[in-house]
Amino acid sequence: MNNFFATPEGGWGDGSVHLTTVGIAIVIAVIALLLIVAAIVRHKNATHKSALTTKQLVYSAVAIALAVVCSMIKLFDMPMGGSVTLLSMLFIVLIAYWYGPYVGIMTAVAYGLVQFVLEPIFYTIPQMLLDYPLAFGALGLAGFFNKKKWGLQIGYIAGVIGRFVFATISGVVFFAAYAPEGMSPLAYSAGYQASYLVPEAIITLIIICIPPVSHALAEVRKRAVEA
């Protein structure tokens, strides 16, 4: 890695690096590429149910925007990354729940890249992939439960577990040195990730199970999926 893509002045003071303007432009280009691929797939499958419609693209973009705004409302911030936010993961999970895993995972990966652009500091490319497109992309797994009873709740839990798994792997592989002496890196990483993902998940699940909220989400889903 050189100063063309990233600079060693990462801002964390511990060997991290920071994307340069060119690096940020490349990531934005990747996000744009995702949208182009989605549009191509939509065009080729225009007669099939799997087609990605204009409405789905619009709702996905709005969900990403809302998720980004809510991710900035932090109820609790962890010292080494991660925070308890105000329902930020829910908006991405909703897209997966409404439109299935294909649209959900694509939207979730794009959201992960947007989060990376907002704070483009990382240690290595594999660590960045695990913590951003893969970890956030796992929220799209909620789409596999969109036809189940209590599918939103089950899908949300599945998505959070997916994010937890990728974030934990990143912690074990790249942040084991931060584990207290004598403590397993796996236990340390799992405990660290759970300390912010579990509280947010509990808060979100409680909120979406409140009858008025549940009914409102059901009405929005009807509008989102109607032809």
Q: Which residues contact 98 (CB under 8 A, 6 or more apart)?
A: 59, 146, 221, 224, 225
Say whether pLDDT at 1 is over 50: no
Please state the rounded mean pLDDT for residues 191-212: 97
Higher pLDDT, 43 or 113: 113
CA dist., res. 102 & res. 109, Å (int): 11
CA distances to 83, 152, 225 from 98, in Å: 26, 9, 7
Q: Are 175 and 196 in contact (CB under 8 A)?
A: no
pLDDT, tens only, 66-86: 999 999 999 988 877 789 999
CA dist., res. 110 & res. 65, Å (int): 11
The pLDDT, as a whole number, for residue 49 is 52
Alpha carbon 176 to chain centroid distance?
A: 23
Helix (H, G, I), strand (E, B) or coil at 172: helix
CA dist., res. 123 & res. 59, Å (int): 33
Q: Are 130 and 166 in contact (CB under 8 A)?
A: yes
pLDDT, tens only, 149-179: 999 999 999 999 999 999 999 999 988 888 8
CA dist., res. 72 & res. 81, Å (int): 13
56-60, 159-163, 213-217: range with lowest mean pLDDT:
56-60
Higher pLDDT, 95 or 42: 95
